Amino acid sequence: MSEETRSSSDDPSDFPWLTRHSLSASVFFSGSLCGGADHDAEDGQGHLHLLRHGTLSLQTRGGAVTRVERPSLILFAHPQNHRMEAEEQPGAELVCARLSFAGPEADLLLLGMPEPLVVPLDALTGLGPVLERLFDEAFTPAFGHRAAVDLIVELLLVMLLRHCVAEGLTEKGLLAGLADPKLARALTAMHEQPAAPLNIERLAEIAGMSRSNFAAAFKQGVGTSPGDYLTSLRLALAKQALLQGRPLKAVAPLAGYKSSTALARAFQRQFGCGPRDWLAQQRKKL
């Protein structure tokens, strides 16, 4: 393995999604919650709640209730109905934002993320200054403060993903795989060059493992086989390219398929319809 390949793949900070991601945050509440508030999944967005002071009862789907008694970050990475309740007095001081994770790799990035993810603020090592600035902007209105808060929340989310990798907060999925330096090398190679001929032997070589050990470790850490993961990535990239208006014959090689027929077969297996039918369905939703 070349030194260039090793240095690029050993460092999760170089992971491609973090340099071409599409992430947006929009703060919709900052203040004291007294009583209850419902948040729904109808807008198709996730939610981030930052509890600065007070105590919250958090009710999620199925009726499960979590009591949050310390200043904490509460993340619903995927759209999910939930209810928060605080005592009428003194209430709970909160900053709440809607989140949108877009791009071809978003679903893979969020695979295995706990719902909700609750992290005490004092456990977010090194984020004290970011959180302090966020709360200052949120609770002290000034020129441009809404735009500033949104940007700080986006920064916070990137740093939270880094924290998830470092602390192993996800049991399965991409972030769990990135926590393992060997699997991280293989995952980075897939995302850097998804159209390359990356069979399991080549991926095992990049990871510095035997074929059997790599296959087992990948399935254990990421929750799926290397081949299935690469297929999901390639089809995600193909879907994005189709939505951008690229012709099918140009999309196929971009996504690692030798022909549009091969891509159509992969679509049929994965989604139950061909690329053109899938694209027509998406356009009807717009």
For 79-117, how does the pLDDT look when each residue is reduced to its tens digit (9 = 90+)?
999 999 998 788 899 999 999 887 777 777 787 788 899
- Under the banding of pLDDT at 50, 70 and 90, the label for residue 16 is low
Predicted confidence at residue 9, as pLDDT, reads 39
Predicted confidence at residue 17, as pLDDT, reads 62
| H or E element at residue 24 | strand 22-33
Residue-range domain boundaries for the chain: 21-167, 180-285
* pLDDT at residue 154 tops 80: yes
Tokens matching residue 241: 């390219």
Average the pLDDT over 42-63 and give the result. 89
Helix 181-192 to helix 3-10 angle (10° resolution) is 110
Average the pLDDT over 223-242 and give the result. 92
- As a whole-number percent, the residues of the chain with pLDDT over 90 amount to 57
- Under the banding of pLDDT at 50, 70 and 90, the label for residue 285 is confident
Q: 39 Cβ partners below 8 Å, 6+ apart?
A: 47, 76, 81, 82, 83, 84, 96
CATH fold for domain 21-167? Jelly Rolls (2.60.120)
* pLDDT at residue 170 tops 90: no
Per-chain mean pLDDT for the chain: 86
- Under the banding of pLDDT at 50, 70 and 90, the label for residue 10 is very low
For 69-79, how does the pLDDT look when each residue is reduced to its tens digit (9 = 90+)?
999 999 998 89
CATH fold for domain 180-285? Arc Repressor Mutant, subunit A (1.10.10)
CA distances from 108 to 30, 78, 174, 242 (A): 31, 12, 6, 19
Handedness of CA 211, 216, 217, 223 (dihedral sign): positive
Handedness of CA 141, 143, 146, 151 (dihedral sign): negative
- Under the banding of pLDDT at 50, 70 and 90, the label for residue 168 is confident
d(CA 284, CA 274): 16
- Under the banding of pLDDT at 50, 70 and 90, the label for residue 64 is confident
Higher-scoring residue by pLDDT: 265, 158:
265
Count CA within 13 A, CB hemisphere, residue 33: 26
Same fold, 21-167 and 180-285: no
Predicted confidence at residue 27, as pLDDT, reads 93
- Under the banding of pLDDT at 50, 70 and 90, the label for residue 275 is very high
* pLDDT at residue 48 tops 70: yes
Higher-scoring residue by pLDDT: 226, 104:
226
| H or E element at residue 26 | strand 22-33
Q: 106 Cβ partners below 8 Å, 6+ apart?
A: 21, 22
211 by DSSP, 3-state: which? helix
Q: Return the minimum-mean-pLDDT range out of 20-29, 92-101, 213-222, 241-250.
A: 20-29
d(CA 209, CA 201): 9
Predicted confidence at residue 7, as pLDDT, reads 38
Average the pLDDT over 225-248 and give the result. 92
